[in-house]
């Protein structure tokens, strides 16, 4: 293999076009997972503007690109999937039938180890190093929204009936309900980030929007517009005001769900669920095949999904002292985290503890008592 590594800005227009074409053809050639927008050149370029160490390896055969491998690298040779901890699809985008040697690729990239947590299916040279595989629920809308709704009614009649009834009640109690699939008002994006930041703090999770580079990334992607890739802000309005919103990424065939949140003053109407149904309708109208809800066990995902994809986490290593040290540090942490997430008797108490901690921190910031 002829493998050359580039900074994001060094990638030629021709190479970007080949990369995009590979993604567009992937669903037709039996690899729909490669069409995920987190695997798009636009995501890699945007992240490269906000974070250091972003690189793209281009693999060529007879002078023609056959694969693209975006990654992040430290000066010590520790590699991470691009957007690790933030992106919901990772891996190497390639032509059908392309085979590669993982350690040869790492050596060409100057990496002792490459870590991933959302490796998509079909990446066999990387999958052999996976430490765990997890469900990533999706909503199929390739047969149209009405077909999806009919499937939802058949599988979860009470859930569907209740959610649609809450939407009607929202219109009666608050005001006319409307939906904008692709809202272009930056002020609404700021509102969404405020809701999401508050949710992170309230539930004891790390606030992603406390990091300026993530805010810059989201804003850049919001302004990225193209036929093959776009940042999409979807908003549910009631009585003329936004009450739920979601920001995600879209390729030609896949909508990647990313940051959903809602105004808690309207929680009794389940605006987040109503929003996701409207998003499914809007995505179907645009010719999207499915909405990827992302890895993670959430009740709303189980209620809305039609099936599950699989993603893996782990790390590929070469024989190198840096790789051994990285494994020694990371393995116990990931093992503990995944044990808690996979066992309800552990996850429930841990989740409640995080929420209590979040409430205490919020009370302290608001001048609350003990």
**What CATH number is given to the structural domain containing 50?**
3.40.630
- Residue 76: the pLDDT is 81
- Reported confidence tier of residue 321, pLDDT bands at 50, 70, 90: low
Nearest one of 321, 318, 325 to 109, comparing CA atoms: 318
- Reported confidence tier of residue 327, pLDDT bands at 50, 70, 90: low
> Between β-strands 113-119 and 241-251, what pairing exists: parallel, antiparallel or unpaired?
unpaired
Residues 96 and 11 in one domain: yes
What does the pLDDT look like over 67-114, one tens digit per residue? 999 999 987 889 999 999 999 999 999 999 999 999 999 999 999 999
Q: What is the mean pLDDT of the segment spanning 154-167?
A: 96
Integer CA distances (angstroms), 5 to 43, 59, 194, 284, 320, in order = 17, 9, 38, 37, 20
Residues 250 and 145 in one domain: yes
Instruction: Report the alpha-carbon angle 257-259-265, nearest 5.
Output: 125
Q: 65 is in which domain, residue-wise? A: 2-135+311-353
Q: Domain tally for the chain?
A: 2
Residues 126 and 8 in one domain: yes
Between residues 357 and 181, the one the model is more confident about: 181
Residue written as tokens 């494994």? 327
Q: Does the pLDDT value for residue 345 go beyond 60?
A: no
User: Is 231 domain-assigned?
Assistant: yes
Q: Does the pLDDT value for residue 310 go beyond 60?
A: yes
Per the prediction, the chain carries an average pLDDT of 89
- Reported confidence tier of residue 239, pLDDT bands at 50, 70, 90: very high
Q: Which of 203-212, 274-283, 340-349 has the lowest mean pLDDT?
A: 340-349
User: Is 360 domain-assigned?
Assistant: no
For residues 47 and 222, what is the distance between their CA atoms, to the nearest angstrom?
13
Q: What is the mean pLDDT of the segment spanning 156-164?
A: 96
User: Is 113 domain-assigned?
Assistant: yes
Integer CA distances (angstroms), 345 to 135, 142, 298, 352, 355, in order = 19, 37, 16, 12, 16
Contact (Cβ atoms closer than 8 angstroms) between residue 278 and residue 266: no
Look up residue 171 and give its two tokens.
Answer: 């219109």
User: Is 361 domain-assigned?
Assistant: no
Between residues 192 and 340, the one the model is more confident about: 192
- Reported confidence tier of residue 322, pLDDT bands at 50, 70, 90: low
- Residue 290: the pLDDT is 98
Residues 335 and 252 in one domain: no
Residues 158 and 285 in one domain: yes
Q: Does the pLDDT value for residue 331 go beyond 70?
A: no
For residues 103 and 181, what is the distance between their CA atoms, to the nearest angstrom?
43
Query: First CA to last CA across the chain, in angstroms?
Result: 63
Rg value, the chain, Cα: 21
- The counts of H helices and E strands in the chain are 12, 13
Q: Does the pLDDT value for residue 280 go beyond 70?
A: yes
Contact (Cβ atoms closer than 8 angstroms) between residue 216 and residue 38: no
For residues 344 and 266, what is the distance between their CA atoms, to the nearest angstrom?
29
Q: Does the pLDDT value for residue 364 go beyond 70?
A: no
Residues 8 and 116 in one domain: yes
Residues 102 and 6 in one domain: yes
User: Is 153 domain-assigned?
Assistant: yes
CATH for 199: 3.40.630.30
Q: Which DSSP string corresponds to 245-273?
A: EEEEEEESSEEEEEEEEE-GGGGGG-HHH
Q: In this prediction, what percent of the chain has a pLDDT beyond 90?
A: 83
- Give the CA dihedral 220, 225, 229, 234, nearest 10 degrees: 80
Look up residue 320 and give its two tokens.
Answer: 């190198």
For residue 224, the tally of other CB atoms under 10 A from its CB is: 17
Residues 241 and 315 in one domain: no
Contact (Cβ atoms closer than 8 angstroms) between residue 137 and residue 305: yes
Residues 327 and 251 in one domain: no
Look up residue 152 and give its two tokens.
Answer: 């939802």
Which residues 6+ apart lie within 8 Å of 51 measured at CB? 72, 213
User: Is 359 domain-assigned?
Assistant: no
User: Is 369 domain-assigned?
Assistant: no
Contact (Cβ atoms closer than 8 angstroms) between residue 191 and residue 245: yes
- Residue 227: the pLDDT is 92
Contact (Cβ atoms closer than 8 angstroms) between residue 232 and residue 249: yes
User: Is 363 domain-assigned?
Assistant: no
Q: What is the mean pLDDT of the segment spanning 142-148?
A: 98
296: left (phi over 0), alpha (psi -120 to 50) or beta: left
Residues 34 and 118 in one domain: yes
Residues 299 and 331 in one domain: no
Which residues 6+ apart lie within 8 Å of 255 measured at CB? 232, 248, 249, 279, 283, 288, 290, 291, 292
Residues 223 and 279 in one domain: yes
Strand positions, DSSP E, the chain: 2-6, 54-61, 64-73, 78-81, 93-94, 113-119, 130-140, 177-180, 229-238, 241-251, 254-262, 290-292, 307-317
**Exposure string (b/e) for 174-190, b if CB count within 10 Å is 16 or more?**
beebebbeebeeeebbe
């Amino acid at each position: 293999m002829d493998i050359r590594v580039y900074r994001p800005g060094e990638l030629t227009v021709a190479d970007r076009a080949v990369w995009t074409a590979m993604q567009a053809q992937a669903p037709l050639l039996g690899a729909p997972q490669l069409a995920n927008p987190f695997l798009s050149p636009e995501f890699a370029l945007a992240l490269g503007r906000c974070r250091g160490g972003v690189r793209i390896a281009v693999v060529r055969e007879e002078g023609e690109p056959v694969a693209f491998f975006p990654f992040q690298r430290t000066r010590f040779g520790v590699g991470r999937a691009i957007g690790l901890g933030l992106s919901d699809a990772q891996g190497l985008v390639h032509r059908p039938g392309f085979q590669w040697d993982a350690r040869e690729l790492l050596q060409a990239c100057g990496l002792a180890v490459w870590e991933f947590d959302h490796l998509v299916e079909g990446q066999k040279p990387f999958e052999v190093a996976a430490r765990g595989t997890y469900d990533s629920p999706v909503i199929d809308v390739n047969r149209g929204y009405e077909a999806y709704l009919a499937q939802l009614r058949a599988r979860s009649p009470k859930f569907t009936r209740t959610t649609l009834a809450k939407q009607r009640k929202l219109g009666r109690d608050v005001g006319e309900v409307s939906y904008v699939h692709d809202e272009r008002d930056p002020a609404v994006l700021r509102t969404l980030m405020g809701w999401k930041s508050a949710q992170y703090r309230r539930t004891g999770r790390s606030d992603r929007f406390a990091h300026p580079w993530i805010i810059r990334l989201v804003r850049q992607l919001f302004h990225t517009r193209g036929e093959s890739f776009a940042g999409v802000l979807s908003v549910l309005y009631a009585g003329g005001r936004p009450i739920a919103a979601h920001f995600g990424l879209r390729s030609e065939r896949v909508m990647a769900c990313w940051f959903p949140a809602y105004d808690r003053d309207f929680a009794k109407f389940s605006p987040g669920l109503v929003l996701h149904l409207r998003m499914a309708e809007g995505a179907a109208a645009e010719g999207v095949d499915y909405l990827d809800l992302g890895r993670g066990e959430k009740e709303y995902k189980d209620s809305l999904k039609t099936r599950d994809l699989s993603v893996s986490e782990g790390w590929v290593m070469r024989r190198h002292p840096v790789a051994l040290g990285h494994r020694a540090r990371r393995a116990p942490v990931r093992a503990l985290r995944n044990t808690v997430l996979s066992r309800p008797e552990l996850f429930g108490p841990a989740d409640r503890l995080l929420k209590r901690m979040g409430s205490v921190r919020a009370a302290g910031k608001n001048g609350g008592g003990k």
